Amino acid sequence: KGKCPEDGWDESTIELFLHELAIMDSNNFLGNCGVGEREGRVASGLVARRHYRLIHGIGRSGDISAVQPKAAGSSLLNKLTNSVVLDIIKLAGVRTVTSCFVVPMATGMSLTLCFLTLRHKRPKAKYIIWPRIDQKSCFKSMITAGFEPVVIENVLEGDELRTDIEAVEAKIKALGAENILCVHSTTSCFAPRVPDRLEELAVICASYDIPHIVNNAYGIQSSKCMHLIQQGARVGRIDAFVQSLDKNFMVPVGGAIIAGFSESFIQEISKMYPGRASASPSLDVLITLLSLGTSGYKQLLKERKVSNTFLKSSFNKIFLLQTSMSLKNLDENNDAAVTQLGSMLFTRQVSGARVVPCGSVQTVNNYTFKGFMSHTNDYPCAYLNAASAIGIKKQDVDTFLKRLDKCLKTSRKERNKEKNVDEISNSNTSSEQLES
């Protein structure tokens, strides 16, 4: 039926299955005589084994989803992977999704492919409406496709940054709907930015007849992100949503899933891909999902939620105990102390945590972003954030919190030393002035 099995398969069963697929490809036929320019020849046995002898890749020159006559096994692998991934997307919360395909490019280039497909539908359009998120690849995806990003600044509500819906609609009216390729929104992002208001954006896109592409990079693992996509498609318009394979399925970097609610439009995107493509991302995610099964993947999603709750509550405890060491305090006292905290964490083998100072400026493709990494020009303070992504264990959170606590204490001691030195220096200066 092309669905992910409920219970995961053992490794020997998966290897047998892959071997059966491989022997359906012509390069593995006994007595095969290949006289074309691409016949699945591999010089290294190690490389052949690494790819389970599935050498032909996926698709044909005109369509990444097309069947290759001389590579029936690789073609079947491609179709099975797309079907299993579609099943997982439905399981994760977007139940009305109709089509998807795995593409051997990371999220940024996959977004570019979506924009290039829309170019043929809207030849006059040159702008993309983009609620700001300070992440380079999604910004560069629009530039690479040849369009001009129209950056919509977020609005601060409490300590959260949210989509400025009024500014989006005002910009659409100012530029003219026919000149806008699409709205490019985002679900998964780092705090203090929260997911875009997808329902409101989807309604605007439907009312102005503007396509809507969603960057859902690591959103499959988040029930909230998937719910937003489902609701957006229900009340308005979402043409496609793009997600990363490595971020959501714990496989090597280099693949993404393009999914949507119109099978014909998703097929148009797949036909836009020029040439054949690597089967490695498809193979990796199929092996992973067959070994996990739906029960295993659901368990990982559950563990991520538990870890996220634990991380939040523990974060709060640390900063209540270390009130004098809040990053707001650090920032008010010394900019260098903020960046030093990030360095201290990294040298103590804490990866992924981000310390974001105030006022940093970054230029990306001739566009200058003030307050880069904080998703707004003037966020009121510096901050630290950390993510509990799929696969994280309670032990990871515990270790991180212990190291963070030590770093904060060390930073406080160093700051107190500097304060004492400054006080002594000021005292000596005052004494010298009195004597003179």
Q: Residues annotated as binding site for pyridoxal 5'-phosphate? A: 38
Measured CA to CA, the distance from residue 137 to residue 111 in angstroms comes to: 9
Measured CA to CA, the distance from residue 254 to residue 245 in angstroms comes to: 8
Which strand (E) or helix (H) includes residue 257?
A: strand 256-260
Measured CA to CA, the distance from residue 103 to residue 145 in angstroms comes to: 17
Measured CA to CA, the distance from residue 284 to residue 351 in angstroms comes to: 24
Binding site members for substrate: 60-61, 68, 276
Binding site members: 38, 60-61, 68, 234, 276, 348, 413
Q: Are 272 and 116 in contact (CB under 8 A)?
A: yes
Q: Is 101 exposed, middle or buried (0-12, 13-18, 19+ CB in 10 A)?
A: buried
Which residues make beta-bridge pairs with 102?
A: 257
Cβ partners under 8 Å of residue 105, min gap 6: 113, 254, 255, 256
Which residues make beta-bridge pairs with 217?
A: none
Angle between helix 198-208 and helix 165-175 axes, rounded to 10 deg: 20
Binding site members for tRNA: 234, 348, 413
> Angle at Cα 78 formed by Cα 267 and Cα 33, nearest 5°?
115
